[in-house]
A and B are shown apart, each in its own frame.
Chain A
Amino acid sequence: MNPVGFPIVTVIAFFPLAGAILLLFVPRAKEEFLKRMALVISLVEFIISLPLFIWFDEGAAGMQFVERIPWIPEWGVHYFVGIDGISLLLVLLTTFLTVLCILSSWRSVERMVKEYMIVFLILETGMIGVLVSLDLILFYVFWEVTLIPMYLLIGVWGGPRRIYAAIKFFLYTMAGSVLMLVAILALYFLHGKATGEYTFDLLKLYQTVLPINTQYLMFAAFALAFAIKVPMFPFHTWLPDAHVEAPTAGSVILAGVLLKLGTYGFIRFAVPLFPVAAFKAIPIISILALIGIIYGALVSMMQADLKKLVAFSSVSHLGFVMLGMFAFNVQGVQGSIYQMLNHGVSTGGLFLIVGMVYERRHTRMIADFGGLSRVMPVFATFFMIVTLSSIALPGTNGFVGEFLILLGAFKANPIYGIFGATGVILAAAYMLWMFQRVMFGAITHKENRALKDLNLREIVTLVPIIIMIIWMGVFPKFFFKKMDLSVQRFLYDIKARYEAVVPPPAQQEKPAGMEEEGSHHAPVNIKE
């Protein structure tokens, strides 16, 4: 199964942790050395994650680089990891953004540098773990593990209201996920009673067809956990607090990866485990997504704080992700996954940019700026490109994602498409208005006259973002071809199992590459 010959996924997942342990033994006084080491570790991590992309066989729809060894055999828990076209790019996004985050923390983190770097690397392990886990318990463990470092990042290195924000973040996410734990257990026992095999193996549990009412309850439990993480309206209230208080790198990783764990959770767990409930939930999820898109955009428009503006724009962008996913057609789902990556890149970029300007002025209020493009031309260029990407201008990555999502949404239900499209317009409005107030016009504040333009380190941090924005904007096929089959198979699987319960309206074509593995087994029907 594994073409590489060594457990590459495990290496990628645990390399940052090993690095963190290594950092433990460096004296805390050597701050510069600590930073360099952390950077090197994250760079090496990024480099060793690249072969995943190269070796990934785009002609196969199933899981690749699979590793499966018993972990807690008494419970049927396995250390079971693998990567498919959906998680592949998200893993790469994680390793990519972590490098930039560490680079961006060079000056902004002044105290407890050692602990900061250790926590950050542990967080990376946690995030990758969530993305590669194919065992529900392994997944849940990683899912909760990510809470601890993020909690510390916000709480120790955050802004003035960091304690409130940190605890709100922790409790919100935990409250959502504990009910999922009960649902995981219920699924485990239902599957076990029906088949005699007690397992948390996700691919086996996919085959379970639960009675509809049970599906509703379990889907609700899973969806709640993920909806809080995404966050979907009305569970988004923790997000602005967490973002505003978190240090720059914390915000980048929060927006870039942690929120994606919520949307990823839907696509990997909630939907394929409970397809009937997911199909029945289309109106609810879509409407909440639309409210998120429009509400997030409107609130963004009214923000006086740059970081809060970007935070609320995340609510809007992730509304798009959810809308596309629940269109349940190829365009929508591909657009949705693409938009996850886009959001990671461009919102990550925006947070980096806000961080850079904050380091100079120690304020994030839009009203404190104005005319910055005169004193910081290089900064202005970067800012402009990232802003345009966030608006989804054609030629940038954002366009590809949002276009596909809207296409999918129109195909599924034109009304959703129409409302979704207003979000694009609103995004242009709030982003450009913000950009205009910050960058253009006369310099109204004396303090802004002497601002220094970006230094080399900051340029090095932003250039990869710009490259990705343009690359993903003009050559999306490079990325789509990796996820094509996985997405098709995802759709085929959930539709087949939905139609096994609800009579099909039309025949579905079986996509090529389907015969790889799994799904041979007859679905396990559990009677009520």
Chain B
Amino acid sequence: MEPFRVQFATADLLVIAPELVLTGFALLILLMSAFARSERKDFLGYTALVGAIGALVPLYGGAGVEASAFSGMVTLDPFSFFFKVMIVIITLLTVLASLAYTKREGIAFGEYYVLVLFAAVGMMLMASGVNLLIIFLGLEVMSISIYVLAGIMRDDARSVEAAFKYFLLGAFASAFLLYGIALTYASTGTLDLGGIRGVLAEQAWITGLPILITGLALLIVGFGFKIALVPFHMWTPDVYEGAPTSITAFMATGVKAAGFAAFVRVFFYALPALQPYWTEIMWVLAAATMTVGNIIALSQTNIKRMLAYSSIAHAGYILVAFVAGNELGQSSILFYLLAYCFMNIGAFTVIILLGKKGEENILISDYAGLGFQRPLLAAAMAIFMFSLAGVPPMAGFMAKFYVFSAAVKANYYWLAIIGVLNSVVAAYYYLRVLIYMYFREPEPEKELALGHLSLAAVLAVIISVWGVLHIGILPSVFLSLARRSIQFLL
């Protein structure tokens, strides 16, 4: 076998231009924060904002382009394009939600934004890597940034605990993934996804089947951890609860999106030949993930924990599409993630807006009477909750509809039935938020953050509401986008 020899050409830089822009801005912020006086660090956040918007510029030029770079390690295709745009949107919304929040919680260090941008770079690499090593590198860049971000509230025991837990378990998961990559390499002799696909298509691998299947299982564990599938979900509630809320939103959407991007690309592009082996495992994982996530969410009183379990359940719904495995299923994964990113970040941003210093007001019961005190904010939250519950005309309904239609098309009726029944269970806990907001009187001593609202965070909420309603009412444009983005798999 030939040794790796990575070719370098200037044109290759264009392929990873969005990543480069983000990295550049991250380094800039790092420099600026070293020289800035501590009381004037607002502009670091704005710089991050500019960076995220700046990353859209090369993306705009890259629409519809197909190119690969660095000897076929990284690619720019509609699939990675879709995810890169989504990651930029997630980053933008996260930064918007963070501007006031970080000041309130005293974590407005330059490092905060630097790490957010670096994590975004890692996510993008996961979405665009077509080599197992690049995907792994992307995953590590993302994960290490997030480990630090989860613990960035240094004085808060829960935050530190979250970071520590996430780091320990995450390191294990990375090891699993790496071992899976190693075994895949051992049995196919290549790390290139296209190469693996080619080797498997030739049927020459039968001799190494047990090794390959073991590798497959380890890959599932590794990815399953990052996207929080049951039974690899144990870290999620503690980490989501302990981490700063803005980072929780970032994790729940960005990490999940990037994890699924790599998951889909590796499994559907490189390993479709093994589909018979993983379909049944995924079936069980999907059913377990939906059911466990939803049932435990029922009893949560802390809204961040509730959304943590809900995000587990949503990963389960997406996995239903994964099991279906048809074209409908693959594009519905993309569509679902997009819908999910708007409704979830939206919900977390409302939580941020209502919070007080020291992570107060995060019990569901704290929202009693919100509908009277802050009608618009409560209405936005209601839209997100209905969307998460999958009630039309919100994005969540269209997303679920798409996923379940893929399952029905592939004749996984039972999985679809388990899924829809789960969404009834889920409706109960999402509606509970509404019950507190609208059906109960505010407690007299309890004071929600009734003062000045951060404009940036409000903007994030508005964008999210727009996304949820647009996807829910006129999904066509997003559907065809999602469908075009998986063309390379066909």
Contacts and interface: CB of A to CB of B under 8 A. Distances in A.
B208 interface: no
B428 A171 contact: yes
12 contacts: A137-B401, A141-B392, A144-B392, A162-B439, A163-B435, A167-B428, A167-B431, A167-B435, A175-B424, A178-B420, A179-B420, A185-B408
A178 B405 contact: no
B424 A141 contact: no
Given A141-B392, A174-B424, A73 B476 contact: yes
B372 A182 contact: no
B404 interface: yes
B409 interface: yes
Contacts of B483: 74
Interface of B: 371-372, 375, 386, 391-393, 397, 401, 404-405, 408-409, 413, 416-417, 420-421, 423-424, 427-428, 431, 434-435, 438-440, 475-476, 479-480, 483
Majority SS at the chain B contact face: helix
Nearest to B480: A74
A171 B440 CA distance: 19
Contact of B479 (A75, A115, A145, A147): A75
A72 B479 contact: yes
Contacts of A524: none
Contacts, number: 84
Nearest to A178: B420
A185 B404 contact: yes
A133 to B, nearest CB: 12
Nearest to A186: B408
Contacts of A174: 391, 423-424, 427
B305 to A, nearest CB: 21
Nearest to B428: A171
Interface in A99-141: 112, 115, 137, 140-141
Contact of A72 (B417, B438, B475): B475
A44 interface: no
Interface of A: 71-75, 112, 115, 137, 140-141, 144-145, 147-148, 151-152, 155-156, 162-163, 166-167, 170-171, 174-175, 178-179, 181-182, 185-186, 188-189
B274 to A, nearest CB: 26
A148 B394 CA distance: 12
A152 B438 contact: yes
A145 B423 CA distance: 16
Given A74-B476, A171-B428, A175-B421, 4 more contacts: A112-B372, A167-B435, A179-B420, A181-B401
Given A170-B431, A178-B421, A74 B391 contact: no
Contacts of B392: 140-141, 144-145
A517 to B, nearest CB: 28
A137 B392 CA distance: 10
Contact of A144 (B391, B408, B421, B431): B391
Given A74-B483, A144-B391, A171-B424, A179 B417 contact: yes
Contacts of A75: 405, 479
B408 A182 contact: yes
Contact of B439 (A73, A155, A179): A155
Nearest to B420: A178
Contacts of B476: 71-74
Contacts of A144: 391-392, 397
Contacts of A166: 435, 439
Contacts of B475: 72
- Give 4 closest A-B pairs by Cβ, nearest first: A178-B420, A185-B408, A141-B392, A74-B479
Contacts of A175: 421, 424
Nearest to A138: B392
Contacts of A112: 372
Most A-side CB within 10 Å, residue of B375, B401, B428: B401
A186 B435 contact: no
A173 to B, nearest CB: 10
A73 B438 CA distance: 37
Given A141-B392, A144-B391, A147-B391, A182 B404 contact: yes
Contacts of A179: 417, 420-421
Nearest to B479: A74
Nearest to A189: B409
